Structure 1
Amino acid sequence: MFELRQAEQRGKADFGWLQSRHSFSFAGYYDPAQMGFSALRVINDDWVAPGAGFDTHGHKNMEILSLVLEGNIAHKDSAGNTEVLPAGEFQLMSAGKGIYHSEFNASKTAALKFLQIWLQPNQLDGAPGYQQKDFGQRDGLTLILSPDGREGSLTVRQDALLYQLLLQDSAWQTLAVAPERKIYIHLIDGELNVAGHIVRAGDGIKISQQSEVSLTANRAVKALIFDLP
């Protein structure tokens, strides 16, 4: 089964300093048909004005992943982590039993664009954690998240895998899907043919009841692929 949701169908928020597109229900945007997919709860495509950002706020029992697409995030949290996250790097904050953090555009002149992704954990009330890594820009599939940190990936508190997919024009990839697993693809750039479904930047596609999925880049592709329980 394939369910494509196009970028323009996402929820929208515009606060001036922040413009956001919500793949799933979030804050003031509510769609009972879009409450997440398996353990994947939030994908927000955020644009933040120079010097602006999110003041200190709390989270509990959520795995929060950020990927900077343009610019730099200045991050500070109650566990003592003070970091700058540049374009191309992944940051995973495990909120556990509770953590407070702030995130700001580190530049006073350039805009910030990043993806904010939430996964529901399968371990509750653990100690908060912080991880950050640049996985490079290697063609094909690169493992970003796993429950056991395999292949140098970030360790997530959920039976979930996340891959970065990079394909050049006309390149292809076959994705094997284990029994009872679900796949979600979020396209960042390019145009991807997913078993006959055309997926463009900002689109998301839910995939279930498949053992294998063919992926072909109509135009050079950057995507995130979630392998979910």
Structure 2
Amino acid sequence: MIICRTAEQCGQADYGWLQARYTFSFGHYFDPELLGFASLRVLNQEVLKPGSAFQPRTYPQVDILNILLQGEAEYRDSNGGHIRAKAGDVLLLAAQPAVSYSEHSISDTTPLTRLQLWFNACPSRENSALQRLALCDTKVKLLASPEGENSSLQLRQQVWVHHLQLDEGEQHTFTLNGNRAYFQVIHGAMEAMTPQENAAMLQCGDGAFIQQEKQLTIRAKAPLRALLIDLVA
């Protein structure tokens, strides 16, 4: 089963220094039926003006995955952790409730544009406090996984996050680990198909809930960049 969630259906925010689109309930945007999906708690698409910042704040016990699409960022935590990142980098912050974190858009001219995902962390699992990898031109790249396989970032949860870059007409078939997945189009257009020939068309900014499927085929209708989030827990 594929259930689409278009960009227009998402929550919206415009604070001047920050523009955001929320897939699930977040901040002022609340929908009691959209509090997350399995262990995926947050999926935000955000743009921060040059020089703007999220001041130090604490988070629940979650893994925060930031995919930087444009600009530069600096992250600090109250334990002394510090890292800078730029477009093309993927960062994973293993948030701890007693630690505060800040984020700054450090370019003088270019907005910081990113996707941010939160996953509920299993309290019995540990990973590094701050991890980073650089995206490459690979058609399909595993960004994060429970064991850090294939040089991916290591999550504290049974989740696999894949990044796709397909040319028009190309396709890729995923075999899913769990019975639920979420698909997010970053840019381009695509068709998602199940083995039962259920199909859905998605455009830039659209997402889709995938339920009770073991395989999913993605066909690019235009040059495509997207995420597939495979959720066991």
TM-score range, shorter chain: over 0.9
In the alignment, which residue of structure 1 is the partner of 2:196? none
Match of 2:229 in 1: 226
Pick which of 185-194 and 79-88 moved more: 79-88
Change in 2 beyond 3 A, CA 1:52/1:97: closer
Q: Matched residue of 1:219: which SS? A: coil
- What corresponds to 2:33 in structure 1? 33
Partner of 2:184 in structure 1?
A: 186
Q: Deviations over 1:144-171 (max 9, x none)?
A: 1111111101000001111111111100
Please report the TM-score for the alignment, with normalisation by the length of structure 1. 0.94
Whether contact under 8 Å (2:190, 2:219) holds in the other structure is yes
Unaligned runs of 5+ in 2: 194-198
Q: Deviations over 1:98-154 (max 9, x none)?
A: 321110111122211111110011226968711011031211x21111111111010
Which amino acid in structure 2 is aligned with residue 129 of structure 1? A
Q: Distance in 1 between matches of 2:137 and 2:8?
A: 27
TM-score by length of 2: 0.93
Give the paired residue count: 227
Pairwise mapping of residues 51-200 of structure 1 onto structure 2 (< 5 A)? 51-123=51-123, 129-139=129-139, 141-178=140-177, 180-195=178-193, 196-200=199-203
Q: In structure 2, what residue type is equivalent to 1:104?
A: H
Aligned-residue identity in percent: 32
Deviation at 1:12, TM superposition (A): 0.8
The whole-number CA distance in structure 2 between the counterparts of 1:126 and 1:213 is 30
| Partner SS state of residue 104, structure 1 | strand
Q: Is the 8 A contact 2:180 2:210 kept in 1?
A: yes
- In 2, the alpha carbon distance for the partners of 1:215 and 1:143 equals 16
**5+ residue gaps, structure 1:** none
What amino acid sits opposite 1:90 in the alignment? V
CA distance in 2, matches of 1:41, 1:173: 26
Alignment-mate amino acid for residue 146 of structure 1 = S
Following TM superposition, the consecutive aligned residue runs of length 4 or more in structure 1 with deviations greater than 3 angstroms are: 124-128
User: Secondary structure at the residue paired with 1:151?
Assistant: helix
